[in-house]
Each structure stands twice: as structure tokens, then as C-alpha cells.
Structure 1
């Protein structure tokens, strides 16, 4: 059975949810603070347009996908789960850890599915990368680094770290299976008080080190995750064609007479089945609604990501920067 799902928030990413849910046969209604925008999508997708204030009490809606400005996610998620709706909240889950914890606790107390939109966890190339790691193909993981660079989008509330890094942090935490014991952030604000560049360095109790670099003022686009192991290195490059999205480098490094030596080998490309991450994410949400399983990207996972975001945040004052 397909649950009846409403999308709250008809902006850029909300519109992607709307069209994808329609293709999956699960779109029931749309809601937005701008009634005309909701009515336009309702006419386009042949579904209901509903006032946001009435959405939570509607008995015709089983679940809600929330694609709102993040400062509104927690309060609306709490209203939804307490009204008996399952919820998928877009990233970030909230702007503070206590708000996120309140939303997750409300879902747990209400017995509702609570999922967060860390969509790259459902990318076929990342799933294949996790399978390689699980099979020991890379050996012991030593270092992970992620670069997410491009030009725009610019938000009045979110800086580059909070807008771009949640996906990468979710992948890094999934690979390590632990939270970092040390987080160090560095940012640069060029346009206003919000960082346009962000570096986050992490150290894990297992010995793994990691860093991510996020930028919304970069002249070229890069979407690359690199995992360095004792047997091999793997690169998930979402900018490549499907046949080259996941590469494994079986380089060798050893000591010879007290000196380090190495051989660099050409990459081997791992076959990855094509699939849209958002479609797979929403299929997983529908599956969890029907089976009551815990989502892969549940609320607890989102809180862990939020802790790292909070620890890595650098507050800027341009007046101080100009005085330097």
C-alpha cells in the first residue's frame, strides 16, 4: 500500500520531493506559506493544496515531508508526529542540538517514523562504497576527506558549512561508525557574516582522521569523497559519469632500506547500478512507513551530524575581519 504523503514547503528542494513522490504514486497534498505556490503545484501534479495550519489535523494524510527553512523544522516535526504523522525532515534537522533532540524524542514517544533527508546515503555509488569497506577491500580505514565545492546557492540563514556539509558528514559518520572525539572548524566570510568557505577537521577514537572542505564561492564544481585504507583507496566522484563514479586505487607503499617507496596504479572502476538518490530515499521512507522499520538516516543519526556541525561552526564578524 502507498501511504498518503504531503509535502510541506514548495521551494526548490520541496518541488523535487513533490515530483518524485508523484512518480512513486504517494503524493497526496502540498502545502506552503504562499498559497498560490501550493495551488500551482497542486494543479500541475493533480493533488490537493492544503493550508499548512490544516495539514496536521487532516485524517487523509499519513506522512509529511518537510522542506522548510531549517529554523522551522523542529517545531513542525513535533506537531506532525504528535498528530500521528510519520515524518521526513530535510537537512539540517534543526539549528540547535536541543531542538533536534526534542523533535526526535517526540517522534519516539508518539511511535512515529522519523527520517532525515541525508540523500547521498542512498546514492548507489556510496552504497557500493560501503559494501567494499564492509568486505574489507580497502583494509583498515585511516583517512577520509570530502570536497563539496561550487558557486551558490546563497542563503540568508545558512552558511556554506550548514548548507553543504550535512551530506558529507552523514557519509563520513556512516563509514567510521562513530562520532569524532575532536572537531576543529575554520571558515571565511566574504559576502556577509556567513561563511562562504568552511574546513572541518575531525579525529576519531579509532584513530581515523578526516576533513571536509565546503565552498559556495568556487569557480568549478566538485563533489568528491575519498577514503584511504591500508589496502587501497577509493574515490566516490559524483561529477563523473556513472561508469566512473566509484574508483579504487590499489597503490602500494612500503619501506625499502629505511626509505619509503611506492607504486602508483591506474584506478579500477567499480560497476554501479544507476539510480536517483532522491527516488531511492523516498522509496526507503515509504518502506519504513509500511514496515515500521527504523530508517537508515533516522533522527539519532541526524543529531550526530548536527553535533559536528555545531562544533565546527565559526562565527564571523566582518567588522573584526576588516580591522585586521
Structure 2
């Protein structure tokens, strides 16, 4: 039985509490937050089975805890994670891993030194539709990948501490890297702030990969539509992952262009191919449940999680370069 403590019980933090509490093979023992009303809600909701505290040291001092879940503001991630790892706890930290690359590397270093699991909450990597899309790409169903683009927009929730780049695009950056199995070498970002000064409400991010592959991300909390869509265009077929669809979340389009030989000459001509649309049958399970289970399994089996510290660092390096480009009005920035 893996015993867990958690710090941070905001809206998303409560989803984590719910999933870890309901998972077999683990016990959500204690939850920490500064908001006493939230703590009372958790205490009542789970019949007193989860202890509550407003002091993080109560988690650190509890020798029975195997792991600590961190769902606080990103600026605090490294502080809490390093403290927990140093005390021999496994750590699950929400995305992004940290806000500073040096802090992220220190988190990874401490995890390795203490031989503890460090996992980052890049949720979409555990989405059944993304897993199937990854298989389609690896099996060559889509052919050579030309480009990807994603849209992650809605009206709200407006952030006060972080812009749309840091709040929203980590999901799409992590998916792009995961699907292509490579990191971009360059990024350019533009965006504007309309609601609060210096906090961009909308951003457009372009990632350049080797082999002429590019990815484009549009993210905003100032939009009339709620869209969560990811498109992959290949030389053979195209795929669309639409997370707003209730059932048919992944579609494979047999569309594209083909070069046909003109047998009356030595020339070739381009033809448009409009084939069928295939909707793979995917057994849908809540991605967060799968993510939480993966963390528990990684601890039990002593295996590195899919979204480990190194994975989180790669995403952070892209976001850091993207932020620099944003501050320089879209100037392309090399990713170190």
C-alpha cells in the first residue's frame, strides 16, 4: 500500500485527491492547504478519512508517507519538491515541473541521488486517444509527419500569476514532443495582453523540428469557443484528436495528395485523394485516473514514469525559450 500526502487542494488539486483516494493500492492520508474552508470541505467529503493541515511540515514529518503530490502554484513547485525528495519521498508535481531550468535540474538531481520517483503531471500523455494516435504514427499509418497544430482556447479561466503560454501550452508542447519523439530546436512566440497588463491572454507558438516538421499552438482564455483539438498531417493520412468530443475523440482521415504517372508522357501530375474517415474504437478511461495509477505503478515497480523529470525539463526548456521569444516580439529563439 502506497501512502500519499498532498499539498494544494484548489480546483485541480481536489481532482487529484479524488483520484488517489479511489485508487486501489494506495491511501490518500493527509492533505495540506492554506485555505481552511477547502480543508473542511475535504474532511467532510471523505468522512474524515483524510487528515487535513495547513502546515507542509506535517507531511514532511510523517514517516509513514511514501509519496507527496504537489498541486500548488508553479512558482512553489521546486521548493516543495526538493524538500520532499530530500526527505526520501517520491514526488508527483503538477505541470510545469518548475519555472526555472536550474530549479528543475536540481529537482532531478535530488531525485536521482535519493533514488526516488519524480513525475510531472503532463496529463495528455496518458489520454487513451493520444496513446492511440502515438501508435498510429509509430506504425507508419500517417506516413511521414509534415506538421502538427493545436488549439486550446476558452472564455476563462483568467490567470493572475501566469500568462496563457505557461498556463495552457505545456499540454500541447508535451504532446508534440511525445508524438514526434524529438525536441524542437527553435521556437517563435507572439501574444498580447488585453485584460491585465503584462499577462498575455492569447499566444501563438511555432515550434520547428528536424526534417522540416513544424508545430503551431494557439492558446487563449479570451475566446468565444471552447476548443481542445490537436491535428497531425502526414504524407499518407491525417489525424484529429478532439478532446471536446464525448465519444469519437480520434479520427483518421484518408486524405492527401498523390503523384500519378502520366503514361502518355514521362511527366507526373498531382491528384487529390479524398478517402474514408476512420474512427478507432478507444476504451475511454479518465486520463487523470490513468496518470495517477501510472505514478503508483512507477513507485511499486521502481520504473521511470513516462512523464519523468527529464521529460518535464524538456517541456520547460521549450516554454522558457518561447517566453524569451514572446518578450522579443516573436524573434525565433534556439532551444538549448
TM over 0.5: yes
Match of 2:275 in 1: 265
Match of 2:287 among 269, 272, 277: 277
- What is the aligned partner in structure 2 of residue 296 from structure 1? 306
- Report the equivalent of 1:160: 164
| 1:305 paired residue among 298, 304, 315 | 315
What is the DSSP-based 3-state SS (H/G/I as helix, E as strand, rest coil) of the residue aligned with 2:168?
helix
Gaps of 5+ in 1: 318-324
Q: Deviations over 1:56-112 (max 9, x none)?
A: 121121101110000000011000000111000001111111111111111111111
Looking at structure 2, the residues matched to 30 and 239 of structure 1 have their Cα atoms a distance apart, in angstroms, of 31
CA distance in 1, matches of 2:271, 2:140: 24
Query: What is the root-mean-square deviation of aligned Cα atoms in Å?
Result: 1.6
How far apart, in 2, do the equivalents of 1:282 and 1:163 lie?
21
The residue number in structure 2 matching 1:9 is: 8
How many residues were matched structurally?
A: 315
- 1:114-263 residue pairs with structure 2 within 5 A? 114-192=118-196, 193-242=198-247, 244-255=248-259, 260-263=270-273
When normalised by structure 2's length, the TM-score is 0.90
Any conservation in 2 of the 1:5–1:28 contact (CA below 8 Å)? yes
- 2:35 is the counterpart of 1:34: yes
Structure 2, unmatched stretches of 5+, are 261-266, 330-336
> Could you list the per-position Cα deviations for residues 141-185 of structure 1 after superposition, in whole angstroms to 9, with x for gaps in the alignment?
111111111111111111111111111111100111111111111
Taking the aligned partners of 1:188 and 1:300, their CA distance within structure 2 comes to 31
Distance 2:66 2:124 in 1: 25
1-structure distance, mates of 2:70, 2:276: 44
Cα shift readout 1:269-314 (whole Å, capped 9, x = no counterpart):
0111110000000000000111110000001111110111111122
Whole-angstrom distance in 2 between the partners of 1:218 and 1:131: 32
1:208-236: CA deviations, max 9, x gaps? 11111111101011111111111111111
SS of alignment partner, residue 264 of structure 1: strand
2:78 corresponds to which of 63, 66, 74: 74
**Superposed displacement of residue 114, structure 1:** 0.3
- 1:254, distance to aligned residue in structure 2 (A): 2.4
- CA offsets 1:42-63 (integer angstroms, 9 cap, x no match): 3322211133122112112110
Q: CA deviation at 1:264?
A: 2.2
Q: Aligned with 1:294: secondary structure?
A: coil
Structure 1 ranges of 4+ moved more than 6 A: none
Instruction: Output the CA distance in 1 between the equivalents of 2:79 and 2:110.
Output: 10
